[in-house]
Amino acid sequence: MLRYLRIWLAQMRYSLAREMQFKGNFILWIIVELCWFALQLAFIGVLYFNVKEIAGWSGWQMVLLVSTSHLVQQLFQAFVMINCMNLPELVQTGRLDFFLAQPVSTRFLVSTRAFEPGSIVNCLMAVIVCVYAACKIPVPFSPVNIALYVFLVVLGVVVHYSFMMFLMTMSFWMTRAQGFVHTYYNLFQLARLPREAFRGVVAVVFTWAIPMLLVANVPARTLIDGFGWKEAGYLVAITVVTFIASGRFFEYGLKHYTSASS
């Protein structure tokens, strides 16, 4: 375990050094994410310009939900997302051979190779907006409440990772699995919406099967109303299940890997 942590830290140091060689690009990508975050907040502004409450969420509660979703997304982006997105290319070019030859778990190496420090800056922005919104609601801050919130946010990141990994593993059979990145982004858009707004089959599917309506809703609701066993318990269970299932699927995909021109 400690060995894996050391490898991860070494890869992060390498990524940071590489990123700092292109400082302009590093700053521009931070601006990109800030623009998208501002856009989401502007949309809330437009909505609440006309109404006081949507599906039981007040304006500031909605800001907390959107910034929590942004926090989950940025954490995911910082540590693993780019690695998942690179998997199809590794498979197509045969460069995955290099990872298979290493004496550590291939899934671990593939998932942690690159790190995006710019997303950490955006995480801080999300945290600032979260705290501001929480103070405006106001939320009863306590060490337990905050610890639970952080724990649930981490679970949200793992759920995103598992689903993205599942989609990208398709590259062992398909040549254009990058197209699934678009699918993932579309799914992610649901995460920042209040789950009480959804009804019928869509609500069931995106709550219990593909839990996009839980990953940001549950941490935000926990911070506002306190711990809810049903949703939080399910989030823990689905995180464990999807993490193990995506790992198994990746191992299965590896068996179909035939390398390329190497």
Partner 1 sequence: MTAVLRQQMTLYSRIFSLGMQNSLVYRWNFLVRALAGLVPLAGSLFLWKAVFSEPESTNFSGYDYHLMMAYFLTLIVMDALTSPVEDDFAIARDIKDGKISQVLLKPIDYFTYRVSLFLASRLIYSAVVLLPTIAVLYAFRHFFSGVHVGETLPLALVAALGSAFLQFTIAYASAMLAFWLLDIGSVVFILFSVEYIASGHIFPLDVLPAPVYAVVRLLPFAYEYYFPVGIFLDRIHGAEIWQGFLLQWAWIAFFYGLGLSLWRRGLRHYTSVGN
Binding mask 153-192 for partner 1 (x = CB under 8 A): -----------------------x--xx-xx--xx-xx--
Task: Give the CA radius of gyration of the chain.
Answer: 19
Binding mask 24-53 for partner 1 (x = CB under 8 A): -x--xx-xx--xx-xx--xx--xx-xxxxx
Q: Are 157 and 219 a contacting pair, CB within 8 Å?
A: no
Residue 148 or 216 with smaller CB distance to partner 1 = 216
Q: Are 146 and 102 a contacting pair, CB within 8 Å?
A: no
Tokens read off for 46? 């437009």
DSSP 54: E
Three-class SS of residue 53?
strand
Determine the residue type at 75: L
CB of 180 to partner 1, least distance (A): 7
Chain positions 9 to 28 lying near partner 1, rule: CB under 8 A, are: 22, 25, 28
Contact status: 233 vs partner 1 (CB under 8 A): no
Residue 18 or 176 with smaller CB distance to partner 1 = 176
Three-class SS of residue 173?
coil
Count residues near partner 1 (CB under 8 A): 37
Determine the residue type at 120: I
Three-class SS of residue 37?
helix
| Total residues found in the chain within this entry | 262
- Residues of the shown chain interacting with partner 1 in the complex, contacts defined by CB under 8 A: 22, 25, 28-29, 31-32, 35-36, 38-39, 42-43, 46-47, 49-55, 176, 179-180, 182-183, 186-187, 189-190, 193-194, 196-199, 202
